[in-house]
Amino acid sequence: MRMILPHAVVKTLVAELKRAGVREIGGVLVGEHVGDETFRIADLSIQRSGGSATHFVRDLDHNRAFLNEFFARTGHDYQRFNYLGEWHSHPSFEPLPSVQDQKAMRDIVEDPDVGVNFAVLLIVTLARRSTLHLSATAFRAQASPLVVEVETESEANPKRGWFVRLIDLLR
């Protein structure tokens, strides 16, 4: 599995991690299916509450509202745009899933009411206050976690206007 992380998302994550300092933050990842097991992050929610220096608690209402807005914005085209998983920071630890992180992700993929085939957990941290370090792990029901290859896109072409990029997103 491969995930493409746009430059704009990297910039957002770096800014939010700086703002949060030693507090864990997180949210939901949504993306576009662009090829065989390849997904491009289209957006992510930012939940600034619910975190301490060593723990992050997801706000389900916050996640639900974000997902509803995203699906409305993308025309409910679930085959192309969908929930990819969760993300959170580890400001005091390596960006690797803890035992508690793994259990939370297994709970998501094994819950028939959630109804997902897989969920990715992206864990991020800042090195030297500006360099993003991360790991991505895919979880599937009744299967071992898989390391997800993450490709970071370079900065968007400045000649492409925001309107053209928006049209591309909505296609």
CA distance 140 to 117: 6
* pLDDT per position as a tens digit, 3-46: 999 999 999 999 999 999 999 999 999 999 999 999 999 999 99
pTM of the model as a whole:
0.86
Q: Where are the domains of the chain?
A: 2-170
Return the CATH architecture of domain 2-170.
Answer: 3-Layer(aba) Sandwich (3.40)
Residue pair 109/118 in contact (Cβ under 8 Å)? The answer is: yes
DSSP-assigned letter for residue 53: S
* pLDDT per position as a tens digit, 138-159: 999 999 999 999 999 887 555 5
